[in-house]
Structure 1
């Protein structure tokens, strides 16, 4: 039994977001560049926002899928946990990268208790705490610390 082919306009915003990620990936290493562009804090902030949005999408898909299709729901929940691990690593990388030369030490600090300068944009840390709250509500600490199968690197922090 096969699924019917989705219409071309199915999930247009998700398709556009995927196309944007593909375009950005190509732009990071244009064929004529000697080296790819290095990540900076603004880049990782935007990537973290994208991953956090994907976390919310996977969470809703897993919740909606689990009752009628438990096996698929469990797999989506596992994907949600793995995506959280990636989001957490991007957040940590954000703090490892140096801030702009014009930024002072307080601006570089992780301050989730402070409101962002310009609403409705959240700071990376506020967004990370909000996403982490949702993840921890539905995931055990053991699941969050379980390495991805085949993943052999270790964290240094």
Structure 2
């Protein structure tokens, strides 16, 4: 007797990411006093968003030839998720630094000084290059894909 494979077995790393999201969601619902987001949390959230963004990109590309309408919807989700990722990146730069050595400006030409100050910028710029190659300027005009902070 064979069991039916789970839907998320095609992308097993998503199970770990989902477990992390569930953990943070449970932590938010505890009776402890609410804490505002900090740079470390936004860096982790940005990493999750860019990973899902890459997955949506892959799914849209592989779904579009046999199912064009579904592929278009996935491509739209891809673009909207990029917008959310850009906003998380912008929020990261508006939060105060936890250490005096962390600059609040994006400086992707410099080597990483450690997490999270430049890792988020480099990840964002790398994802932005991919987005620009696969998305029309009209789709992207509502948001910026460069570090301007």
**Band the TM-score falls in, shorter-chain normalisation:** 0.7 to 0.9
2:124 aligns with 128
In the alignment, structure 1 segments of 5+ residues that lack a partner are 148-156
Matched, 1:27 2:23: no
Query: Which of 31, 34, 37 is 1:36 aligned to?
Result: 34
SS, match of residue 106 in structure 2: coil
Runs of 4+ in 1 over 6 A off after TM superposition: none
How many correspondences in the alignment? 138
Output one character per residue of 1:99-139: Cα deviation in whole Å (capped at 9) or x when no partner: 11x323x63321111222469xx611111111011111111
In the alignment, structure 2 segments of 5+ residues that lack a partner are 144-148
CA distance, structure 1, for counterparts of residue 63 and residue 130 of structure 2: 18
Query: Which of 130, 137, 140 is 2:133 aligned to?
Result: 137
CA distance, structure 1, for counterparts of residue 4 and residue 85 of structure 2: 29
Query: Which of 62, 67, 70 is 1:69 aligned to?
Result: 67
1:103 aligns with 100
- Cα RMSD of the aligned pairs, angstroms, is 2.5
CA distance, structure 2, for counterparts of residue 83 and residue 111 of structure 1: 24
CA distance, structure 2, for counterparts of residue 108 and residue 6 of structure 1: 49
Contact 1:66/1:74 (<8 A) preserved: yes
